[in-house]
């Protein structure tokens, strides 16, 4: 069993709101918490806390409490911090929804989570309204933050100036957030994360990640994603850093914001690292204020990381996690420069892990002559491990064992320098630009096409070595359906990141005797091809 090189840290038995805001000093209250590049507006920590309290009071006055689930469909804008933590302050549970989701996808999540409220912004209202109508959420409980006819808005709710309610719950068992993840396989499931999970992971991350109150963080990774929620939003608020919000990634505005606001710390996914390493436009901007770039959400190859680091003269770091881990379990410690950037660093404090031989089920413990263990599936235990999947006891049991170890489905090796590298995946999940894509979900959609007899989806590497979904299609008899037809059909029914980006037509999908798709055979075919 492997342990963290760092001693355990204290994890307060409090809500995430109390952990982040209860000890706000007058000096910290005057610090800038949020900057909106769209307007240049700045929000101090004191003003943010007051807004959170007022929003919690407005929700409580309308019956929102510990039994309520609230959907939050919102890009990265300063108001996200207000309403996200306002919902939690009211004792409710937040289910964060991908801003790119179709109405059908939003409906599925709202229905599965049993959400009775939905918060959004006017550009996303058409899809949000369609989904809310489908699940029976009334207009009075669809809050449009920037205003829309017949809906409550943020300005009005804050203007009521209500006091935050008195709420009582156990931080260790009360579900704070309900993000959706495909886990190691299958369709998306609600991941139940408690207040303690969120508090713990912030406390753990503070040891490995050197973020200070003098830093300015460019918040481009979405807050609705657990990486953005914990490592950008909550960690930055805990450290009293300033967050410069970006609703979506576009390279030119990304570089402009770094230059304009002298951003010092970047949290990114690998495609942004590729741009920093290779795109010629980077040289047209002064981004010398950046001292650290932290990559997560998907594997980043060491060569790209090193090229990007040298080009912008900043330290490149990497970490590992998954939604079910709140999300971080490993990160490169800022105090060590001997760990290669191709690794995911060390275990965080309060965390232990095992490596399990996928063939024998035996635990791997010995470092071999080359200074590393042989590969094994990574199992992790700690206070950041989820409570389980919502209403999915069988899926929970498959992922979380009786000893509290979460079976990640990722293959790792341990190095005698105390750090880990992720080398493969046993799970079927595809990660495109940090977003999770379940092959089963795309396969189910493709099988609904009248000219598709059978289908399978796997992840393959594109020219930039980033994983993309590829569909293998068996045409129906007499069909002449084309690659473009297939890709267009999928694109019309899913969020942009889930689009099928390559198609190959084959005679038969390889399957086991039990009917399970033999993805390894498809991967072999891809490699040979």
List Cα–Cα distances, 347 to 196, 267, 425, 447, in angstroms.
19, 19, 19, 42
Domain 42-169: state its class. Answer: alpha beta
* Amino acid 301: pLDDT: 80
* Amino acid 440: pLDDT: 77
Phi, psi of 181 (to 5 degrees): -140, 150
Q: Quick check: 424 and 236 in contact, CB under 8 A?
A: no
Helix (H, G, I), strand (E, B) or coil at 50: helix
Q: Quick check: 338 and 320 in contact, CB under 8 A?
A: no
Question: In angstroms, what is the C-alpha Rg of the chain?
Answer: 23
* Amino acid 185: pLDDT: 62
* Amino acid 425: pLDDT: 73
Per CATH, 42-169 and 438-528 having the same topology is answered no
Nearest CA-CA partner of 496 in 135, 174, 102: 102
Domain boundaries in the chain? Answer: 42-169, 438-528
Q: Quick check: 393 and 42 in contact, CB under 8 A?
A: no
* Amino acid 451: pLDDT: 93
Taking the chain (529 residues) in runs of 10, the rounded mean pLDDT of each run is: 96 98 97 97 98 98 98 98 98 96 96 98 98 98 97 98 97 98 77 98 97 97 94 97 96 97 94 88 97 88 89 96 96 94 96 93 94 94 98 96 96 94 78 81 88 91 90 94 96 94 94 74 81
| Whether CATH 3.90.650.10 fits 438-528 | no
């Amino acid at each position: 069993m492997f342990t963290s090189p760092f001693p355990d840290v204290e994890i307060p038995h409090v809500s995430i709101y109390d952990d982040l805001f209860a000890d706000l000093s007058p000096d910290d209250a005057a610090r800038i918490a949020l900057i909106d590049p769209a307007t240049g507006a700045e929000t101090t920590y004191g003003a943010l806390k007051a807004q959170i309290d007022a929003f919690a009071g407005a929700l409580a006055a309308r019956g929102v409490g510990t039994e309520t689930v609230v959907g939050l469909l919102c890009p990265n804008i300063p108001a996200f911090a207000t309403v996200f933590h306002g919902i939690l302050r009211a004792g409710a549970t937040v289910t964060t929804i991908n801003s790119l989701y179709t109405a059908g996808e939003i409906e599925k999540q709202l229905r599965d989570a049993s959400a009775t409220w939905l918060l959004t912004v006017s550009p996303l209202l058409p899809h949000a309204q369609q989904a809310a109508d489908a699940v029976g959420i009334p207009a009075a409980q669809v809050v449009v933050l920037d205003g829309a006819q017949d809906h409550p808005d943020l300005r009005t709710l804050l203007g009521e100036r209500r006091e935050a309610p008195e709420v009582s719950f156990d931080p260790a068992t009360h579900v704070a957030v309900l993000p959706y993840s495909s886990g190691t396989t299958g369709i998306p499931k609600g991941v139940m994360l408690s207040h303690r999970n969120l508090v713990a992971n912030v406390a753990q991350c503070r040891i490995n990640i050197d973020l200070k109150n003098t830093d300015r963080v460019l918040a481009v990774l979405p807050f609705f994603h657990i990486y953005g929620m914990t490592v950008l939003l909550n960690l930055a608020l805990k450290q009293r850093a300033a967050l410069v919000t970006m609703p979506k990634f576009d390279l030119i505005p990304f570089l402009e914001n770094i230059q304009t606001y002298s951003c010092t710390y970047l949290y990114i996914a690998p495609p942004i690292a590729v741009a920093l390493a290779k795109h010629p436009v980077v040289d047209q901007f002064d981004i010398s204020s950046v001292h650290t770039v932290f990559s997560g959400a998907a594997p980043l190859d060491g060569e790209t990381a090193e090229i990007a680091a040298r080009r912008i003269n900043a330290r490149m770091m990497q970490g590992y996690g998954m939604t079910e881990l709140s999300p971080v379990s490993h990160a490169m410690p800022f105090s060590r420069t001997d760990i290669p950037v191709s690794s995911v660093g060390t275990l965080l404090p309060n965390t232990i892990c095992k490596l399990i031989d996928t063939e024998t089920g035996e635990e791997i413990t010995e470092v071999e002559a080359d200074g590393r263990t042989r590969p094994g599936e990574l199992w992790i235990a700690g206070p950041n491990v989820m409570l389980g999947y919502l209403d999915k006891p069988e899926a929970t049991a498959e992922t979380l064992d009786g000893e509290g170890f979460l079976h990640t489905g990722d293959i790792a090796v341990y190095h005698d320098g105390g750090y880990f590298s992720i080398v493969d995946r046993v799970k079927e999940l595809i990660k495109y630009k940090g977003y999770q894509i379940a092959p089963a979900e795309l396969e189910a959609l493709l099988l609904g096409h009248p000219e598709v007899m059978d289908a399978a989806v796997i992840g393959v590497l594109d020219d930039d070595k980033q994983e993309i979904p590829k569909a293998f299609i068996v045409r129906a008899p007499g069909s002449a359906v084309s690659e473009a037809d297939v890709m267009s059909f999928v694109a019309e029914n899913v969020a942009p990141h889930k689009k099928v980006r390559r198609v190959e037509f084959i005679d038969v999908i390889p399957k086991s005797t039990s009917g399970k798709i033999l993805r390894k055979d498809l991967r072999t075919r891809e490699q040979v091809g």
